[in-house]
Amino acid sequence: MNSESEPLFVQVARFVEDLIVDGSLQPGAQAPSTNQLAQFHEINPATARKGLSLLVDADVLHKRRGLGMFVNEGARERIIQLRRDVFAGEFIAPLIDEAVRLGYSRTDLHDLIDRVAESRGMYQ
């Protein structure tokens, strides 16, 4: 797990969401089990279960009794929309706040963002 600011069960949910967004888990595919997630992340199975429950509540996964959790149709689009809805507040606002503290001008910040985006292959 990688973020000290998020509870572990939220990190588990985000991990599964990432698998869906990047295409590793397609609609209808079985999600990793509670035990698989707990073992992989070295956490309590109850914590992993709570993370999966978040995704059930968000209509990203559904339970098949005795079989496990499966990805719903439209899950990728739902996740992307939810993440876009909070993107500015979670990422852009803190970035701007720090840029102001560091004395970046608007132009300098735009140039920096363009350079980083290009280095990550965004403009290719």
Look at domain 8-76 and name its CATH class: mainly alpha
> Are residues 62 and 69 in contact, defined by beta-carbon separation less than 8 angstroms?
yes
pTM for this prediction: 0.83
> Are residues 63 and 33 in contact, defined by beta-carbon separation less than 8 angstroms?
no
- Residue type at 18? D
Q: Where in the chain is the domain with CATH 1.10.10.10?
A: 8-76
Burial degree of 69 (CB within 10 A; 0-12, 13-18, 19+): buried
**CA 53/CA 62 separation, integer angstroms:** 9
Rounded to 5 degrees, what angle do the CA atoms 91, 14, 120 make?
50
- Residuewise pLDDT in 10s, the chain (124 residues): 655 689 999 999 999 999 999 999 999 999 999 999 999 999 999 999 999 999 999 999 999 999 999 999 999 999 999 999 999 999 999 999 999 999 999 999 999 999 999 999 987 6
